[in-house]
Amino acid sequence: MPIRNTVATLLAVALGAAGEGPPGAASCTGCHGNARAGMAIPPIRGMPAEAIGASMRAFRTGERPATVMDRIAKGFTEEETQAIASWFAPR
Amino acid sequence: MTCLGRRALLAGIALAPPALAQGESRVVVVGGGFGGATCARALKRAGLAVTLVESEATYAACPLSNAVIAGTRPWERQLFSHEALEREGIHLIRHAATGVDATARRVVLGDGTRLPYDRLVLSPGIELRFDALPGYDEAAAEIMPHAWKAGPQTGLLRRQLEAMEDGGTVVMTVPANPYRCPPGPYERASLIAHYLKTHKRRSKLLVLDAKDSFSKQRLFQSAWAELYPGLLEHVPLSGGGRVVAVDAAARSVSTEFGDHAGAVVNVIPPQRAGRIAREAGAADRSGWCPVDPVTFESALVPGLHVIGDAAIAGAMPKSAFSAAAQARVCAAAVTSLLQDRAPAMPKLINTCYSLVAPDYGISVAGVYRPADGVLAEVEGAGGTSPLDAPPAFRALEAGYAEDWFGTATAEAFG
Ligand SMILES: Cc1cc2nc3c(=O)[nH]c(=O)nc-3n(C[C@H](O)[C@H](O)[C@H](O)COP(=O)(O)OP(=O)(O)OC[C@H]3O[C@@H](n4cnc5c(N)ncnc54)[C@H](O)[C@@H]3O)c2cc1C
């Protein structure tokens, strides 16, 4: 029993550690949480990774107008953005 | 990895008991506000056994409470319970934590109970200092409310504004840095001015400030000139705005240059980390808690992490947004440390929305990463809303402020 407990805990812990995502992803959740009715901030969970990446690139260059995402996207490199995008896509 | 990061990591490995080998690790979180509730849920998602110690049955959220004071938002929307956290299997203890025995790794509760932990997270918020401004103690706050912790004080300030006769002067005092929510006093000044403009046209608002510069200053000041000319007067430090004493009986405050009486006086006093953080030995002489920027482990007490307003988080402001972002990073780091794995290098965001009027929102954003032992701003990112933006842009941001509140409270309280 103790052994099974340990394995279960370790497994859960290992999965959970990835649960907060790559650097930065946990902060996106501050505004892009689970979709709720009447929300004006668009949800990004489940959006294709390429679309998240393309939006972030357009926010960073200023090509896509924004209220706040331009200021946020500039804080992430292309590599970091890709990691975040791939993490949000399947959720 | 930074020096501090490595030190915290080594300390963690050296001191953590071999808990995983014996079954579940015990993590205790003290404080169920934006930081603590968000952290407890993230730790639970990671599969850990989590105990949350929170003294209050209902959490009253500060963000948007300035709109309650201005009468444009119902108070009920500020209230949250921890029931969803209990349903998720978080062990909730409704008690005040009164001490921490960091050597034995035990949290001491008001009733004498001692809770063992492998890792402890403190998110106790702030304590208002009733020993810093001569004349301002808890009794004075019943006459000149601070309303800087949402609760009965919020309602008191609201009722005083409602009861004030048209033509009365409202006085607000703003402390020096650091304090909870840097743009908060200026949002409050804006929304009180909005209330006066729409309900008490002959009244005035005087804001006495212990600082010369403040968060989103140009945006606030240009909006004040546009929306509240002649109604809101801001006196900075260099203009004699620093309040050095207050007199509750006379409802008046004193600067080095003279006294100002008000029909309503809102005193925002200096602050420090919540008492339990200081009892635990985690606060330095500044009254706030130095932490490792990678793990949020205390620089003073190993095995104990501090997040939210109580922590010295480098360039990150003391906001609910920061507290929640730190909570998730801290939860991931605690999980890693309990498995003897190196914590990941984090990156964090903060965004603070402020309402200058109900349909006029502005924001400041920043992206942060550990550098030279502190959380430093990523250059080239962040900043404030544009100075020249059409009303539709301001209205959008006012809507996003409300959206953010909905998301942040759903993430924290379910
Ligand atoms: C007027 C105003 C407006 C604001 N607006 C915004 C905004 O628009 N956006 C934003 O991001 N931030 C805003 N803030 C700031 C925000 O409220 C705080 O930064 C945030 O609440 C900090 O979270 P925390 O977890 O550190 O502390 P808190 O949210 O204060 O939570 C601390 C919790 O710990 C509990 N506690 C403390 N000590 C103990 C103990 N010993 N035992 C048991 N329980 C204990 C308390 O009861 C409380 O529930 C505003 C603040 C004010 C005052």
Joined together, the tokens standing for residue A72 give 């946020």
| pLDDT value of residue A38 | 85
Nearest chain A Cα distance for residue B96, angstroms: 28
Contacts with A29 (C-beta within 8 Å, 6 or more apart), sequence order: B328, B407, B411
CB contact under 8 A, B365 and A14: no
Nearest chain A Cα distance for residue B295, angstroms: 13
- At A11, the pLDDT band (50, 70, 90 cuts) reads very low
**pLDDT reading at B2 higher than 80:** no
Please state, for a pLDDT cut of 70, what percent of chain A lies above it.
79
Taking one residue from A and the other from B, the number of pairs with CB-CB distance under 8 angstroms is: 149
Choose among B117, B126, B110: nearest CA to B91.
B117
Domains and CATH numbers, chain A: 3-88 (1.10.760.10)
Q: Over the stretch B332-369, which tens digit does the pLDDT of each residue have?
A: 999 999 999 999 999 999 999 999 999 999 999 999 99
**pLDDT reading at A17 higher than 70:** no
Joined together, the tokens standing for residue B385 give 């809303």
What count of residues does chain A have?
Answer: 91
- At A7, the pLDDT band (50, 70, 90 cuts) reads very low
Q: Which of B249, B269, B289 is the last residue of a domain?
A: B269
Mark whether B335 and B321 lie in a shared domain: yes
Q: What is the CATH number of the domain that holds B76?
A: 3.50.50.60
Mark whether B283 and B247 lie in a shared domain: no
**pLDDT reading at B161 higher than 90:** yes
Q: Is residue B30 part of a domain?
A: yes
Its ipTM equals: 0.91
Whether ligand 1 lies within 6 angstroms of the CB of B398 is answered as no
Kindly state the average pLDDT of the residues B169-192.
98
Q: Which atom of ligand 1 is nearest to the CA of B309?
A: 26
**Residue B254 is which amino acid?**
S
- The radius of gyration of chain B's CA atoms, rounded to the nearest angstrom, is 22
| pLDDT value of residue A36 | 84
Q: Rounded mean pLDDT of chain B?
A: 94
Please state, for a pLDDT cut of 90, what percent of chain B lies above it.
94
DSSP structure string for B356-370: EETTEEEEEEEEEEE
| pLDDT value of residue A19 | 64
To test the contact with chain A by mutation, choose from B77, B88, B350, B367 the residue with the greatest count of A C-beta atoms within 10 A, namely: B367
Q: Over the stretch B201-226, which tens digit does the pLDDT of each residue have?
A: 999 999 999 999 999 999 999 999 99
Residue B107 structural domain: 3-127+272-344
- B258-261: strand order across its sheet: B243-247, B252-255, B258-261
Choose among B364, B366, B359: nearest CA to B393.
B359
Mark whether B171 and B245 lie in a shared domain: yes
Distance CA(B321)–CA(B318), nearest Å, equals 8
To test the contact with chain B by mutation, choose from A11, A31, A76 the residue with the greatest count of B C-beta atoms within 10 A, namely: A31
**pLDDT reading at A16 higher than 80:** no
| pLDDT value of residue B5 | 43
A45/A19: higher pLDDT: A45
